């Protein structure tokens, strides 16, 4: 069963869209940084499967979607499988 929540898409950089994971969702499901299998469901009813990267941002997590998925400022249902977590590589200093 996937973890699901509602979020609004915004620009992360010039090519990618992303969203913020609400703090209560992060705490309740004990989400951590990593790459997850999942997707988004826009309000039009389409279903898009993709890989979602969650990175720490201040006190919450910021999700990043692959290129060309979603439209800026859309309200979407984000779903991800917590058991599919793959740790992100460490950045070299």
pLDDT tens string 2-33: 899 999 999 988 888 999 999 999 999 999 99
* Tens digit of each residue's pLDDT (9 = 90 or more) over 30-62: 999 999 999 998 877 778 888 999 999 888 999
Which domain does 14 fall in, by range?
A: 3-84
pLDDT of residue 43: 74
- Evaluate whether residue 33 is within a structural domain: yes
pTM of the model: 0.84
CA quadruple 57, 60, 65, 71: dihedral, nearest 10: -100
Neighbours of 54 (CB within 10 A): 24
- Evaluate whether residue 92 is within a structural domain: no
How many domains does the chain divide into? 1
CATH number at residue 62: 2.40.30.170
- Evaluate whether residue 27 is within a structural domain: yes
Per-residue confidence band for 93, with pLDDT thresholds at 50, 70 and 90: low
- Evaluate whether residue 91 is within a structural domain: no
- Evaluate whether residue 89 is within a structural domain: no
- Evaluate whether residue 25 is within a structural domain: yes
Residue 49 C-beta-side C-alpha neighbours within 13 Å: 3
pLDDT of residue 15: 87
CB 66 within 8 A of CB 73: no
- Evaluate whether residue 93 is within a structural domain: no
pLDDT of residue 92: 64
Q: 62-91: b or e for each residue (b if 16 or more CB lie within 10 Å)?
A: bbbbeeebbeeebebebbbebeebeeeeee
- Evaluate whether residue 21 is within a structural domain: yes
């Amino acid at each position: 069963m996937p973890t699901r929540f509602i979020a609004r898409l915004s620009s992360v950089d010039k090519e990618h869209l992303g969203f913020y994971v609400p703090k209560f969702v992060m705490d309740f499901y004990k989400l951590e940084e990593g790459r997850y299998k999942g997707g988004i469901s826009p309000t039009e009813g389409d279903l898009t499967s993709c890989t979602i990267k969650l990175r720490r941002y201040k006190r919450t997590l910021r999700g990043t979607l692959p290129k060309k998925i979603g439209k800026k400022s859309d309200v979407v249902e984000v779903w991800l499988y917590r058991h599919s977590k793959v740790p992100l590589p460490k950045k070299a200093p």
